[in-house]
Amino acid sequence: MRYIDLHAHMVSRSTDDYVKMALTGCVAVTEPAFWAGWDRSSADGFEDYFRHLTDFEPKRAAVYGIRHFAWLCLNPKEGEDRVLAREVLRRIPRYLESPTVLGIGEIGLNRVTRNEIATFRDHVDLAIEHDQLIHIHTPHLEDKYKGTRTIVDILTEYDRIDPSRVMIDHAEEHTLPMILENGFWTGLTLYPQTKVSPERAIDMFERYGTDRICVASACDWGPSLPDAVPHFALAMRRRGHAADLIDRIIYHNPIAFLGQSPKFDVGVDSSRRNGAEKALPRSESDAKSSAGVAAA
């Protein structure tokens, strides 16, 4: 089995988690910038976080043969502070040049306030200006429907957004149709409590098919599983689904979305992204990085 975890907050996870992911077939992760569980005190704090995401974490992942990519933003939980948001957004563009940054994310909404919406729009404008992929967080629990509706309505106002370059993540049964109907990609987050179980995710694939839908762990500092994707694959097998269908969902679908960035590479020939692929080599440079991290 091989898979790509499209949403994993590895800065919050231990090296044992990288081992677990590598042993279960993970070849790449993408890590959206998010809330640390507490509000950062300054734009400098965000800048340190961006350096962590673009420099240290790819090296740490490489130790385990896993490619690490990132998305940058000021997350929705801190989007209420407009002064801070403007300063952080001013600093983001130079990090977009990093070879492992795929786009802007995870932007979105938390409680759906006017300031959060303004900060969300600023991020969308930034992504358009720099021709970046967009990764979007939708709110939790009772706020999810209203937040997703608001996000979809805002995005469809833009005539310069290609919905196939936008992932609206954390979909559930009541929000998935509106996302797909408007041409966006979506993600099902395999969380133990507040999002979607493997069984419900499978139900949604059976109802809506596999086009433009990915699964991810979104593992972070809260109750979450770094090996949620292989648990999903196991649940798929238990439900009787074929190996090629599972492979399409957990490997080829992420490649189809992420591969729209020329930076995304897991060793698959771009002309053969929907077919067979080359083995993922562990490069000499990765090995050197590994030594550096291990020594630290």
Binding site for another protein (CB under 8 A): 77, 80, 110-117, 139-146, 149-150, 172-174, 194, 200, 205-210, 238-242, 245
* Backbone conformation region of residue 218, classed left if phi is above 0, alpha if psi is from -120 to 50, else beta: left
CB of 174 to another protein, least distance (A): 4
CB of 206 to another protein, least distance (A): 4
Nearer Cβ to another protein, position 57 or 116?
116
* Per-residue tokens: 41: 């005190």
Nearer Cβ to another protein, position 21 or 204?
204
Q: CA-CA distances (angstroms) from residue 169 to 6, 10, 134, 207?
A: 10, 17, 10, 18
CB of 199 to another protein, least distance (A): 8
The H or E element that residue 244 is part of is: helix 243-247
Tell me the C-alpha distance between 67 and 243, whole Å: 23
* Per-residue tokens: 204: 């949604």
Tell me the C-alpha distance between 204 and 174, whole Å: 11
Closest listed residue to residue 280, CA positions, set 98, 25, 99:
25
Degrees, nearest 5: CA angle 195-246-165? 65
CB of 76 to another protein, least distance (A): 11
Nearer Cβ to another protein, position 106 or 116?
116
Return the bridge partners of 29, or none: 5, 68
CB of 240 to another protein, least distance (A): 3
CB of 35 to another protein, least distance (A): 9
User: What DSSP line would sit under 162-199, residue for residue?
Assistant: -GGGEEE-S--TTTHHHHHHTT-EEEEEB-SSSSB-HH
> Could you say which DSSP state residue 52 is in?
I
Nearer Cβ to another protein, position 23 or 242?
242
CB of 205 to another protein, least distance (A): 6
CB of 122 to another protein, least distance (A): 15
Nearer Cβ to another protein, position 131 or 211?
211
Tell me the C-alpha distance between 169 and 188, whole Å: 7
Contact 1, 24 (CB under 8 A): yes
Residues with Cβ < 8 Å from 119, sequence gap 6 or more? 74, 76, 79, 80, 82, 85, 107
